[in-house]
Structure 1
Amino acid sequence: MASLTLYPEEERLRGGERVAFNWYMISAAILLVLMMTFGVTMRMAQARWIGVPPDWFYKLLSMHGAGMVGTMGMVTMGVMWYFLRKYVRLHLWAFVANYVLFLIGALCIIASIFLGNYGGLWTFLYPLPTSSMGLWTPGAAALFMLGYLFIGVGALLFYFDAAAAIIKVHGNLGRALGLQWLFGGTIDSDHPKTVVASTMVIIANSIGIIAGAVVLVMGLVNIYFPQVTLDALLAKNLIYWFGHMYINATIYMGVIVVYALLPRYTQKPYPISRPFLWSWAVSTVFVIVVFPHHLLMDFAQPRWLSIMGQVVSWGAGFPVFLVTVYGALTNLYQSNIRWNLPSRLMILAMFGWAAGIVPAILDGTIRNNLVMHNTQWVPGHFHFYLLIGVLPMCLALMFHVMGRRSDEQVPPNSTADNLIGLAMLLVGGLTLAFSFLRGGLDSVARRMDVHLDAWLGSDVAGAIGGSLVLLAMLYFAIRITAGLLRKPAAGGSGAGAADAAG
Structure 2
Amino acid sequence: MSVPTLYPEDERLTRGERVVFNLYIITALVVFVLMMLFGLVMRMAQGTWLSLPPTLFYQIMTAHGAGTVGTMGLASSAVMWFFLRKYVRLNLWAFLTNYVLFTLGALAILAAVFIGGYAGAWTFLYPLPVHSMGEWTVHAAVLFMLGYIAIGVGFLLFYLDAMAGVIRVYGNLGRALGLQWLFGGEIDPVHPKTVVASTMVIITNSIGTLAGAVVLVMSIINAYFPELALNALLAKNLIYLFGHTFINATIYMGVIAVYELLPRYSGRPYGISRPFLWAWAASTVMVLSVYPHHLLMDYVMPHWMLVMGQIVSYASGLPVFVVTAYGALTNVYRCGIRWRMPAKLMMLSMYGWAAGIVPAIIDATIRINEVMHNTQWVPGHFHFYLLLGVLPMILALMFHVIAGRAQSLADATTDKLSFPIYAVGGLAFAVALLAAGHVSAPRRYAVHLPQWVPYDQASSIAAILVIAAMLLFTGRIIAGLLRAPAHVDPAHPAG
User: The TM-score by the shorter chain falls in which range?
Assistant: over 0.9
- Could you list the per-position Cα deviations for residues 195-252 of structure 1 after superposition, in whole angstroms to 9, with x for gaps in the alignment? 0000000000011000000000000000010110001111011000100000000000
CA–CA distance in 2 between the matches of 1:415 and 1:490?
Answer: 26
Match of 1:415 among 413, 416, 423: 413
Alignment partner of 1:259 is 2:256: no
Q: What is residue 455 of structure 2 aligned with on the other side?
A: 458
Alignment map for 1:40-55 (pairs within 5 Å): 40-55=40-55
Alignment map for 1:43-442 (pairs within 5 Å): 43-407=43-407, 412-419=410-417, 421-442=418-439
Aligned in 2, Cα 1:297/1:495: closer, same or farther, shift over 3 Å?
closer
CA–CA distance in 2 between the matches of 1:217 and 1:489?
Answer: 45
CA–CA distance in 2 between the matches of 1:461 and 1:444?
Answer: 14
Q: CA deviation at 1:14?
A: 1.4
Q: What is residue 500 of structure 1 aligned with on the other side?
A: none
Aligned in 2, Cα 1:486/1:15: closer, same or farther, shift over 3 Å?
same
Contact 2:3-2:268 at 8 Å conserved across structures: no
Letter in 2 for 1:416: T
Name the SS for the 2:120 alignment partner. coil
CA–CA distance in 2 between the matches of 1:91 and 1:496?
Answer: 27
Q: CA deviation at 1:490?
A: 5.1
Letter in 2 for 1:274: R
Q: CA deviation at 1:487?
A: 2.5
CA–CA distance in 2 between the matches of 1:300 and 1:495?
Answer: 59
CA–CA distance in 1 between the matches of 2:437 and 2:7?
Answer: 44
CA–CA distance in 2 between the matches of 1:211 and 1:490?
Answer: 44
RMSD: 1.4
Q: CA deviation at 1:491?
A: 6.7
Q: CA deviation at 1:341?
A: 0.6
In the alignment of these two chains, the number of paired residues is 494
Contact 1:40-1:466 at 8 Å conserved across structures: yes
Contact 1:5-1:494 at 8 Å conserved across structures: no
Letter in 2 for 1:100: V
Alignment partner of 1:22 is 2:19: no
Letter in 1 for 2:321: F
CA–CA distance in 2 between the matches of 1:366 and 1:252?
Answer: 26
Q: CA deviation at 1:486?
A: 2.0
Contact 1:435-1:462 at 8 Å conserved across structures: yes
Contact 2:36-2:467 at 8 Å conserved across structures: yes
Contact 2:405-2:494 at 8 Å conserved across structures: no
CA–CA distance in 1 between the matches of 2:425 and 2:266?
Answer: 28
Q: CA deviation at 1:489?
A: 7.3
Structure 2 unmatched runs, 5+: none
Q: CA deviation at 1:333?
A: 1.0
Name the SS for the 2:119 alignment partner. coil
- Could you list the per-position Cα deviations for residues 403-457 of structure 1 after superposition, in whole angstroms to 9, with x for gaps in the alignment? 111156xx732231121x2111111111110111001110011100100011112
Name the SS for the 2:294 alignment partner. helix
Aligned in 2, Cα 1:494/1:146: closer, same or farther, shift over 3 Å?
closer
Letter in 1 for 2:275: P
- Could you list the per-position Cα deviations for residues 125-149 of structure 1 after superposition, in whole angstroms to 9, with x for gaps in the alignment? 0110010011000000000000000
CA–CA distance in 2 between the matches of 1:358 and 1:169?
Answer: 38
Letter in 1 for 2:406: S
CA–CA distance in 1 between the matches of 2:485 and 2:348?
Answer: 28
Name the SS for the 1:50 alignment partner. coil
TM-score relative to the length of structure 2: 0.98
- Could you list the per-position Cα deviations for residues 24-44 of structure 1 after superposition, in whole angstroms to 9, with x for gaps in the alignment? 000000000111110000000
Alignment partner of 1:484 is 2:474: no
Match of 2:466 among 466, 469, 491: 469
Percent of residue pairs bearing the same amino acid type: 63
Contact 2:404-2:494 at 8 Å conserved across structures: no
CA–CA distance in 2 between the matches of 1:48 and 1:12?
Answer: 51
Structure 1 unmatched runs, 5+: 498-502
Contact 1:345-1:393 at 8 Å conserved across structures: yes
CA–CA distance in 2 between the matches of 1:104 and 1:316?
Answer: 34
